[in-house]
Amino acid sequence: MKNTITIGIQWGDEGKGKIVDLLAPEADVVARFQGGPNAGHTLIIGNQKTVLHHIPSGILHHNTLCLIGNGTVLDAVELRDEIRLLEDSGVPVAERLRVSDRCQLILPYHRALDAAREVARGAGRIGTTGRGIGPCYEDKACRRGIRLCDLNSRNLDERLERNLKLVNFMLSEYLNAEPVSRDTVEEALALARQHVLPLAADVPMLLHQQRRAGASILYEGAQGTMLDIDHGTYPFVTSSNTVAGAALAGLGVGPNAVEEVIGVAKAYMTRVGAGPFPTELYNAEGMNHAAGKHLAEAGHEFGSTTGRPRRTGWFDAIVTRHAVRINGITSLAITKLDVLDGLEEVKLCTGYILNGRMLEYIPADAAAFAACEPVYETMPGWQQSTYGVTNADQLPQAARHFVQRIAELCEAPVSMISTGPDREHICHL
């Protein structure tokens, strides 16, 4: 396999986990480069379901080294729980997983701040996953973060004391929330020492050695391009760069370490949390278009991390083409095609109307993007089931046309079509 980045090119939950798991047997290394336990990547193998938050989606395969890079933020409690679940089902995680010693640690005060800030934002809340992601990246940028390697540092006590003073001032004086105790933080640090520190490694060095030995590397993105802190629907985004370019800085490799970039996209759109979504049809707040309801129900659209219902809508080719361009996508993996089965007609958004003008790009301002009215191309749907189809020639003609039109509008070829949640439900093109 060529060295490949696999990333989401919508608002997350595109089915990245499934695609990475099915490509992993051809890779020697699978590496995560950004995000943290805000991610929820689902793998379905027969009747066994695994949901991964921190651990790369190659973990179920023998002979696959899994790496968590410096660009990620790490919650030791979450990681410990995830390791336990996998080990209980017989996966030797400790043998297969290494974590960068430069990872930033998510500590209890990050979660407390995340929650309190969301409450304070009121109607303007972002709808974060509540995992402390934003405050942890904030500390990193502010140079007061605690990294895995800092657990052995002599001035750790002093730094923690300073951080707690600041955080507790913000919590109690400004956000009207409970302060965090030093004991709670110490417990989290003790867990990190016990369960994560033994897995710590110099990840760029490991990657360098692997690459010299001719290994192929699969880089696994979390979230999606429209949640990228620079290129997404700011401020309704996550706190990291989720684009392909982040794989390099988030692991410590150069641009020549990558040959392919696979963009994973659902055959429709979903979003969890707040923020603009021009093709939205259905949400828990009362938008209730029949096709959107179909997508939510047939697609079981509930968040893998928080269980929140996902908002659903038609495929937006302006969003995905934007993502194709800024990520250098070399091919698309279109997932959940089966979810469209049975719809009389299917739609693709090919532009927006804003203030009476036609747009074929995404306005930078979130309010302007939210005000965009989608312009659709309507195509006939199909009544046959595509569930589990593994040969694209056996897909109904209307489904093949739909996928072909996505490729044309997004200016990228389709290399995979996913027709069900299982590892086996895939057509390679």
Q: Which residues here bind ligand GDP, judged by CB under 6 A?
A: 8, 12-18, 40-42, 44, 304, 335-336, 338-339, 418-421, 425
Q: How many CA atoms, within 13 angstroms, populate the side-chain half-sphere of residue 302?
A: 5
- 13 belongs to the catalytic site: yes
Between the alpha carbon of residue 49 and those of residues 7, 338, 404, 421, the distances in Å are 21, 19, 31, 10
**Of 21, 28, 41, 101, which is the active-site residue?**
41
Residue 244 found at the interface with ligand IMO (CB under 6 A): no
- At closest approach, how far in Å is the CB of 343 from ligand GDP? 14
Task: Return the number of the residue (131 or 294) whose C-beta is nearest ligand IMO.
Answer: 131
DSSP-assigned letter for residue 227? G
Q: According to the 3-state scheme, what is the secondary structure of 269-318?
A: EEECCCCCCCCEEECCCCCECHHHHHHHHHCCCECCCCCCECEEECEEHH
What is the phi/psi pair of residue 335, to 5°? -110, 165
What, of ligand GDP, ligand IMO, Mg ion, none, does residue 338 touch, CB below 5 to 8 Å by kind?
ligand GDP
Residue 38 found at the interface with ligand IMO (CB under 6 A): yes
Query: What does the per-residue mask of binding to Mg ion show for 294-333, with x meaning CB under 5 A?
Result: ----------x-----------------------------
Could you give the CA distance from residue 366 to residue 375 in angstroms, rounded to a whole number?
A: 18
Between the alpha carbon of residue 255 and those of residues 1, 5, 27, 245, the distances in Å are 17, 11, 18, 8
DSSP-assigned letter for residue 137? H
- 41 belongs to the catalytic site: yes
What is the phi/psi pair of residue 348, to 5°? -130, 130
Q: What 3-state class would DSSP assign to 396?
A: coil
Task: Return the number of the residue (30 or 395) whose C-beta is nearest ligand IMO.
Answer: 30
Residue 117 found at the interface with ligand IMO (CB under 6 A): no
- At closest approach, how far in Å is the CB of 224 from ligand GDP? 8
**Of 13, 28, 101, 316, which is the active-site residue?**
13
DSSP-assigned letter for residue 422? B
Task: Return the number of the residue (107 or 272) whose C-beta is nearest ligand GDP.
Answer: 272
Name the residues that contact Mg ion, by CB under 5 A: 13, 40, 304
Where in the sequence numbering do the catalytic residues fall? 13, 41
Name the residues that contact ligand IMO, by CB under 6 A: 8, 12-13, 38-41, 126-129, 131, 133-134, 222-224, 227, 238-239, 272-273, 304
